[in-house]
Amino acid sequence: MALDPEKAFLDYSAADCSVQFWTANAPAVQFTSLEAAVRFAKDHGGRWEEIEITVHLPREDIAFATGKVHQLIDALPGEVRKK
């Protein structure tokens, strides 16, 4: 399924999320919105690392693996992408 970053940021603007880098001994970090989680990922090297962001919902969790996290980083609101 194709990722629509703008819709994801809107849909999960108030959802609990966690960021997990896929490296040894890296703890998961919790946030109260997808945008905050993606900004943390971006600021901590998530564009170049294996990473997962999980959105925690009442009935299910939604996990965005590395490729989708990179798409979300590229689409952060207010960010100007370099070409």
- Angstrom distance (rounded) from CA 67 to CA 60: 21
pLDDT at residue 77, as a whole number = 84
Quick check: helix, strand or coil at residue 7?
A: helix
pTM across the whole model = 0.88
- Angstrom distance (rounded) from CA 63 to CA 69: 10
Contacts 24+ apart (CB under 8 A), 80-83: none
CB 17 within 8 A of CB 30: yes
Q: Decide if pLDDT at 83 tops 80.
A: no
Half-sphere exposure at residue 79, Cβ-oriented, CA atoms within 13 angstroms: 17
pLDDT at residue 82, as a whole number = 54
Encoding tokens for residue 4? 């629509």
pLDDT tens-place string over residues 40-82: 999 998 888 899 999 999 999 999 999 999 999 999 988 655 5
